[in-house]
Amino acid sequence: MDAWKGREAPSIEDMEVMAAAARDTLPEAFRAPAMQVVLRIEDFAPDNLLDEMEIDDPFSLTGLYDGVPLTQKSVMDPTGPDVIWLFRRAILDEWVARGDVALDALVAHVFVHELAHHFGWSDADIAAIDRWWE
């Protein structure tokens, strides 16, 4: 226990550095479009978003893609950047509960999952390829 004495949980800024590092290691074909997506990190998803998604427990939402997937974009879409949201407290809670993965790996996983939505992949598509939880 003394190893944690005086230490603090990773901050929003720390998590942003982890997500940016994950983005920077993507293959170029994915990195360039990923750079066009705004990365936002908050402690929790806003209440109005949780209500809209019918989510009762803010700890159950670790990330969210907010935008129009590249496969559906048109010149008629409203302007504004696509955003990947990462929710720090929910990610930290999952990290502690799992106990078997490095925090930077979990942050990278959540980021890449949300980025896959930007590329037009569904949750089913992602699950078929990403065997992370097995």
Q: Where are the domains of the chain?
A: 8-68+79-129
Answer whether 16's CB lies under 8 Å from 43's CB. Answer: no
Mean pLDDT of the 121-128 span: 76
Residue 55 has pLDDT above 80, yes or no: yes
Tens-place pLDDT, residues 57-113: 999 999 999 988 888 877 776 677 899 999 999 999 999 999 899 999 999 999 998
How far apart CA 10 and CA 7 sit, in angstroms, is: 9
Q: Which of 52, 23, 22 is nearest to 37 (CA)?
A: 23
Helix (H, G, I), strand (E, B), or coil: what is residue 85?
strand
Mean pLDDT of the chain: 87
The pTM is what? Answer: 0.86
Taking the domain 8-68+79-129, which CATH number applies?
A: 3.30.2010.20
The per-residue pLDDT for 4 is 61
User: Burial level of 126, CB count in 10 A (0-12/13-18/19+)?
Assistant: middle
How far apart CA 80 and CA 98 sit, in angstroms, is: 36
The per-residue pLDDT for 15 is 96
